[in-house]
Amino acid sequence: MALFRLALQLAQAGVTRIDGRLSINYKPGFNTMLQPHTLSIIRHSDADCVVLSVVWRDNEPPIIVEYVGGAWSWILRRAAA
């Protein structure tokens, strides 16, 4: 959950790429009862893959849809520092 919060802070600050190795895709929900907020982190390497995917609605806890551990978490923490 901490990584999600860090990524959301970076995305809201306008950061979309980190070190050329990570991308943050944040889409605010529109009428969140129909379309929730979404946030994904994509790791760029030989094969791009989603390492964190989260969806949530206003006033509801976030749901982690996908999580793949790895060195990307340190890259994210360093970028948020």
Whole-number Å distance between alpha carbons of 51 and 37: 17
Q: Which residue has the tokens 């901490």?
A: 2
Task: State mean pLDDT over 31-60.
Answer: 90
Helices (H), ranges, the chain: 2-12, 72-80
Split into its structural domains, the chain has a count of 1
CB neighbour class for 23 (10 Å; exposed up to 12, middle 13-18, buried from 19): middle
**Structural domain boundaries, residue 9:** 2-80
Kindly state the helix (H) or strand (E) to which residue 43 belongs, with its residue range: strand 37-43
Structure pTM?
Answer: 0.88
Structure confidence at residue 32 as a pLDDT band (50, 70, 90): low
Instruction: Supply the pLDDT for residue 70.
Output: 92
